């Protein structure tokens, strides 16, 4: 197996990147020697999905280097995930009954009302979580729902996070909605190599990903300092301005999104003009809604700037969105005519 690892350049690339970021002694070779030298069996990953949209499983398959198939065939063995194709994983829960220990990754939150919600193989998801925890070497709450309850915690299910349910185990929280693919691969590497969790903050998030405020390394920060705020989505001259007055929560959110970006370092929410929604923080979404309104009135902003109303923002953003859709539809029509 190690030979097959060496044969893949892109696989080595992510190992090299991860090894450097995690400070692994001996780099890639050090990682391979430690993780694979003594035991030819691939480490086991068990992935439990409760109340979720499935977006975090999609993030797992968006890990770029190595791609998901390489990760699953060369590095780890995904023994259970009911959302993945059968080539990659087992959908049958009994497949893990003979596993002594594994990494347990949990996606989604757990209903706290009727037991009829969220049954897996006829069992309440919360019962399966408690059963699985007994043999889990490490437990990772993947995404905002598993970490802090997320959107399902707002509805009739009043769903709870993994940490709400599991009081006596250390849980690593990897919020953002969905989880970042880089965070997934790097936490897997860290747990396999070091055998313990990285340093965590007060919300049990790895400091290596969630130490800094988004606002501090945002590309629109100069505009914030100079009080150039986007107020009209229809005005192209404002398109690069700070999104604070249209609800950006980058001043209240710790995450490396502004540096790491998404989709292979291509872009991120603020870059797209959407503002940060605060999905890396505890009690997202209640704490930050309405998403298009400013909550912390920064004392350094002038009265004139703050007079700008949230209603105007919501109206402007919906007009902006409607115009975009109209433009796209028009383009589609034009291409049909050709």
Point out which residues bind ligand SF4 (CB under 6 A).
214-215, 218, 220-221, 224, 242-244, 248, 250-251, 270, 276
Q: How far is the CB of 291 from ligand SF4 (least distance, A)?
A: 13
Question: How near is the Cβ of 255 to ligand SF4 at its closest, in Å?
Answer: 11
Nearer to ligand SF4, 44 or 277 (CB): 277
Q: Which whole-number Å values give the CA distances from 247 to 95, 223, 228, 296, 311, in the listed order?
A: 46, 15, 14, 10, 11
As a whole number of angstroms, the distance between CA 100 and CA 94 comes to: 13
Residue for token pair 């909550």: 295
Q: Which residue is nearest to ligand SF4 (CB)?
A: 250
Shortest separation between residue 229's beta carbon and ligand SF4, angstroms: 8
Least Cβ distance, residue 268 to ligand SF4 (angstroms):
10
C-alpha 298 chain-centroid distance: 28
* Cα 180 from chain centre: 4
Cβ nearer to ligand SF4, comparing 94 with 302: 302
Q: Pick the closer one to ligand SF4 by CB: 29 or 252.
A: 252
Q: Based on CB atoms, which residue is closest to ligand SF4, 149 or 250?
A: 250
Dihedral (CA of 55, 185, 201, 126) sign: positive
Please report how close the Cβ of residue 269 comes to ligand SF4 at its closest, in angstroms. Answer: 9
- Residue listed under structure tokens 């703050």: 306
Q: Which is nearer to ligand SF4, 242 or 291 (CB)?
A: 242
Q: Beta strand pairing status for 123-124 and 119-120?
A: antiparallel
The smaller minimum CB distance to ligand SF4, of residues 266 and 325, is found at 266
Q: How far is the CB of 92 from ligand SF4 (least distance, A)?
A: 45
CB atoms near residue 268 (< 10 Å): 22
Strands 102-107 and 136-142: parallel
Least CB distance to ligand SF4 at residue 144 (A): 18
Which of 33, 24, 34, 27 has the alpha carbon at shortest distance from 12? 27
**Cβ closest to ligand SF4, residue 13 vs residue 221:** 221
Backbone angles phi, psi at 38, to 5 degrees: -85, -30
Tell me the C-alpha distance between 233 and 223, whole Å: 16
Q: How far is the CB of 313 from ligand SF4 (least distance, A)?
A: 13
Query: Considering beta carbons, is residue 21 or 298 the nearer one to ligand SF4?
Result: 298
Inter-residue contact 174 to 187 (CB < 8 Å)? yes
The phi and psi torsions of 131 (rounded to 5 degrees) equal -65, -45
**Helix, strand or coil, per DSSP, at residue 58:** helix
């Amino acid at each position: 197996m190690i030979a097959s690892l060496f044969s893949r350049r892109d696989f080595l690339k992510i190992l090299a990147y991860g090894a450097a970021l995690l400070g692994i002694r001996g780099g890639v070779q050090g990682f391979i020697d430690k993780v694979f030298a003594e035991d030819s069996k691939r480490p086991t990953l068990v992935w439990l999905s409760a109340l979720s949209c499935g977006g975090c499983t999609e993030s797992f398959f968006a890990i770029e280097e190595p791609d998901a198939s390489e990760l699953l065939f060369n590095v780890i063995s995904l023994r259970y995930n009911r959302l993945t194709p059968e080539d990659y994983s087992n959908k049958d829960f009994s497949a893990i009954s003979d596993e002594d220990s594994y990494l347990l990754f949990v996606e989604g939150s757990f209903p706290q009302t009727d037991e009829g919600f969220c049954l897996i193989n006829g069992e309440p998801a919360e019962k399966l979580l408690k059963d699985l925890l007994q043999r889990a070497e490490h437990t990772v709450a993947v995404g905002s729902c598993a970490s802090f309850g997320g959107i399902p915690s707002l509805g009739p299910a009043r769903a709870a996070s993994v940490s709400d349910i599991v009081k006596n185990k250390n849980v690593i929280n990897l919020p953002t909605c969905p989880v970042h693919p880089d965070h997934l691969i790097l936490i897997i590497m860290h747990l396999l190599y070091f055998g313990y969790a990285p340093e965590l903050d007060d919300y049990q998030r790895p400091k290596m990903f969630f130490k800094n405020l988004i606002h501090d390394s945002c590309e629109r920060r100069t505009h914030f300092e100079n009080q150039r705020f986007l107020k009209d989505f229809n005005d192209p001259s404002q398109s690069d301005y700070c999104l604070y007055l249209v609800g950006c929560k980058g001043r209240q959110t710790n995450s490396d999104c502004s540096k790491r970006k998404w989709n292979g370092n291509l872009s991120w929410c603020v870059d797209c003009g959407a503002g940060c929604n605060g999905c890396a923080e505890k009690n997202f979404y209640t704490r930050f809604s309405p998403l298009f309104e400013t909550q912390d009135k920064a004392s350094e902003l002038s009265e004139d700037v703050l007079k700008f109303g949230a209603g105007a923002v919501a109206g402007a953003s919906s007009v902006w969105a409607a115009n975009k859709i109209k433009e796209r539809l028009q383009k589609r029509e034009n291409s049909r005519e050709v």
